[in-house]
Amino acid sequence: MKTTVRHIVMLVAVLLVGALWSGVWAQSVTPAEVQQPPVEAAEEVEEVEEKLDVVGLIMDHINDSYSWHIATVNGHHIEIPLLCIVRAESGRWSLFSSSKVSHGHSYEGFYVAPKGAEWEGKLVAVGEDGQVYRPIDLSLTKNAAGLIINSLLLVAVILGVAGWYRRRGCDYREVPRGFVGAVEMLVMSLEDDIIRPSVGKDYKRYSPYLLTAFFFIFFNNLMGLVPTFPGGANTTGNIAVTLVMALATMFAVNVFGNKEYWKEILWPDVPVWMKFPIPLMPVIELFGVISKPFALTVRLFANILAGHTVILALTCLVFISVSMGTTMNVVMTVFSVLLSVFMLVLEVLVAYIQAYVFTMLSSVFIGLSRKEHHAAHKKAK
């Protein structure tokens, strides 16, 4: 039960940091870069709406947004408005529904920058000097809302599994089955095959974070494959989210690293001329400290983003081939559906693999920061 509580605390911490990461500070552009007013931008969108914009369709799903779009029926957009929280240039905070600034509308001087603008798809405003600027934006976007929903669902699942053990107390004679048994098998495999061998003797200290990271990534990956609300948010395909997760691992590695770890970085066992007066090896080692979280960030972000892009591109083949005739459209539809189903099943496997790899690499990096080689060598002598 204590371990479960730790999981929840770590999950909430990661969620809060990820949500705060989406805040953007005010910036400005020159008057020459100011785009057309939002109403005219909306008219231009309506003119090209009849044509299928494949790139735009894919980017709309991949990019973040201020509302949760579900479907479009007869030109009417069915979507869930989200909360916009922005701070104007004057210092005034505004809270309003995203429906007030959707589809080219403006509210209190704020509007969503149209396509081709400096901050396309972001809330902007025109300042007193006539320049378009980016306000401090702490809005609850689709990805932020997806993180909250997915986290709440994950907490409910973990608490439900923990409740099974709590109701049975210390009776270990009954073996869990079904979903509870699958979760136990997954936790034990991660603990025995990855965390314990990689981290070392004090692995229990890091198990709450590593298990939380695995389930958080895995659950968000799966929810991203669900096409309708509450799924479909590209959370782990957002580099800000993966960066925060990587920084959490970097924090665990470098803050809790022992003296042996820092000695290997700042004063490694190499010839003195490689450390003094020019600290060649320490610089290389410090570069490795930065490159490790970078690798974690890009690996997860790129794989999930690529999977979403491929599935959407295959789905668009059905609509692209309409103008090629009935026969071609039927052939391409069958091909698109079969390949999309195959890719969707493959993405479920990728969702697990990416969570597994992130946890494995984090465990290895933490284990490297807990070196005891020299101490063990001295004891052997």
pLDDT of residue 48: 38
Of residues 62, 26, 28, the one with CA closest to residue 137: 26
pLDDT at 8 over 70: no
- Taking only the tens place, the pLDDT of each residue in 90-126 is 888 989 888 888 878 888 888 888 887 788 888 888 8
What is the pLDDT, as a whole number, of residue 55? Answer: 74
Provide the pLDDT for residue 156. 92
Which position has the higher pLDDT, 29 or 145?
A: 145
182, amino acid identity: A
pLDDT tens-place string over residues 228-249: 788 888 888 888 899 999 999 9
Give the chain's mean pLDDT. 78
Mean pLDDT confidence for 59-84 = 81
Q: What pLDDT, on a 0 to 100 scale, did the predictor assign at position 36?
A: 42
Task: Please state the rounded mean pLDDT for residues 175-197.
Answer: 88
- Model confidence over 306-323: pLDDT tens digits? 888 888 888 887 877 777
| Phi–psi pair at 227, nearest 5 degrees | -75, -20
Q: Is the pLDDT of residue 29 over 90?
A: no
The residue type found at 20 is L
How far is the C-alpha of 116 from the C-alpha of 59, rounded, in Å?
A: 13
Average pLDDT, stretch 23-41? 38
Q: Is the pLDDT of residue 217 over 90?
A: yes
Q: What is the 3 state secondary structure string of 154-208?
A: HHHHHHHHHHHHHHHCCCCCCCCCHHHHHHHHHHHHHHHHHHHHHHCCCHHHCHH
How far apart, in Å, do the first and last CA atoms of the chain sit? 42
